[in-house]
């Protein structure tokens, strides 16, 4: 799901980054990294099982995608966007 570049950017860099969070091809939220801190934002209409997620978001993109997938019961993808 996530390539090595995304893993490396998520785990090693402190540079600003932006990920789209998608379910079945629909973007339902985002994850932003600024000053080494990660935060999630959910868009209107996002499934409450996702929008109520309180963390953690600090280990790996793959782990986060797995936790969100488990909560929702359908695959959740994190796609790194150019900033």
Q: What is the pLDDT along the chain (83 residues), one digit of tens a residue?
A: 444 445 444 545 668 889 999 999 999 999 998 888 888 999 999 999 999 998 888 767 788 999 999 999 999 999 999 87
Query: Minimal CA–CA distance to 2: which of 17, 16, 47, 14?
Result: 17
Cα dist from 75 to 21, 33, 37, whole Å:
11, 22, 25
| pLDDT reported for residue 62 | 80
What is the total residue count of the chain?
83
Global pTM?
Answer: 0.79
- The Cα–Cα gap between 39 and 56 comes to 10
Q: For residue 13, what pLDDT is reported?
A: 60
Number of domains in the chain: 1
Q: Which domain holds residue 13?
A: 4-81
Per-residue model confidence (pLDDT) at position 59: 67
């Amino acid at each position: 799901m996530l390539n090595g570049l995304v893993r490396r950017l998520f785990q090693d860099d402190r540079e600003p980054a932006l990920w789209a969070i998608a379910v079945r091809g629909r973007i339902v939220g985002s994850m932003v990294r600024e000053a080494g801190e990660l935060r999630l934002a959910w868009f209107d209409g996002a499934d409450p099982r996702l929008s109520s997620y309180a963390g953690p978001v600090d280990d790996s993109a793959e782990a986060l995608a797995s936790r969100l997938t488990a909560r929702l019961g359908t695959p959740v993808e994190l796609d790194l966007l150019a900033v």
